[in-house]
Copies of this chain bind each other. A is one copy, B any other.
Amino acid sequence: MAAWGERLAGVRGVLLDISGVLYDGGEDGGSPIPGSVEAVARLKRSRLKVRFCTNESQKSRGNLVGLLRHLGFDISEGEVTAPAPAASLILKERGLRPHLLVHDGVRSEFDQNDTSNPNCVVIADAGEAFSYQNMNKAFQVLMELENPVLISLGKGRYYKETSGLMLDVGAYTKALEYACGVEAEVVGKPSPEYFRSALKEMAVEAHEAVMIGDDIVGDVGGAQSCGMRALQVRTGKFRPSDERHPEVKADGYVDNLAQAVDLLLQHADK
């Protein structure tokens, strides 16, 4: 593999995944990954542009940022690309009235959307709200539509909490896709539109940007499909088998965000 200097040459902007890179979530709110608070601070003091690009769909952007600030991170709402506010905009643009199969913590992101007489379903990481009753209700709404529209906030398979691996929204989206014979539109990683909207906010071209994430498919594969470079951290949901993934090869594997930032500050923008 090429030397780090070559692999990181010309990087001007950095996209950071949040869960599994900055912190590990949990019922107690979670805890920072060692070294990540300082790493973010160092990045932000550098000449590199930084933006946070998450698929978090259980919490509103405000609640997520509040939690991260409480854990010590220097982060503000305006620096975060999150799927729920992105979906809310898309719904308004297309005149869609959602039936929401979402966690209560993210419902406020859809306050500006008309939810009467729904003509689509929005599914997010609803956690415990993925009851049979709630899934069946969303299924019935879709089956009554002539042209069923299903919007999925990300398509993650699972994520890691301190208590263990947890099923993510992608699994439940597959269930509805199969039952209704539809294909969901994804708002969130690895959707190319989603990465591009984050790049646009940062005013950086894809070939000048690097994504840092713990998900070999959603973060690394997705970013590379957009023409970005991508590093995988060995924290969060990382598994050793990811480094032998049959389809996706990261531009580099690092132990954690702190090591990624060391390398970036040493080699990028040269």
Tell me the minimal C-beta distance from A167 to chain B in angstroms.
5
Is A143's CB within 8 Å of the partner chain B?
yes
**Which residues does chain B contribute within 8 Å of A175, judged by CB atoms?**
167, 171-172, 174-175
Q: Which residue of B lies closest to A181 (CB)?
A: B157
| Minimum distance in angstroms from A161 CB to a CB of chain B | 10
Name A41-74 residues within 8 Å CB distance of B.
none
Instruction: Enumerate chain B residues within 8 angstroms of A164, measured Cβ to Cβ.
Output: 140
Return A103 CB to nearest CB of chain B, in Å. 11
Residues of B within 8 A of A166 (CB): 136
Select one of B129, B133, B167 contacting A139, CB under 8 A: B167
Number of A residues, CB within 8 Å of B: 31
Smallest CB gap from A177: residue in B: B174
Q: Tell me whether A158 is interfacial, beta carbon within 8 Å.
A: yes
- When each residue 152-181 of chain A gets 1 if its CB lies under 8 Å from chain B and 0 otherwise, what string results? 000001100000111110111011111111
Q: Which residues of B contact A139 (CB under 8 A)?
A: 158, 165, 167, 171
A43: min CB distance to chain B, Å = 32
Q: Are B140 and A165 in contact (CB under 8 A)?
A: yes
CA distance A140 to B177 in the complex (A): 23
**Out of B132, B136, B179, which one reaches A129, CB within 8 Å?**
B132
The 8 A-B pairs of least Cβ separation, nearest first, read A171-B175, A171-B179, A174-B178, A175-B175, A130-B132, A174-B174, A157-B179, A128-B132
For this complex, 15 residue pairs linking A to B, each with C-beta atoms less than 8 Å apart, are A127-B132, A129-B132, A130-B131, A131-B132, A132-B167, A135-B167, A135-B171, A136-B166, A140-B165, A167-B175, A168-B179, A170-B178, A171-B179, A174-B174, A174-B175
Residues of A within 8 A of B (CB): 126-133, 135-136, 139-140, 143, 157-158, 164-168, 170-172, 174-181
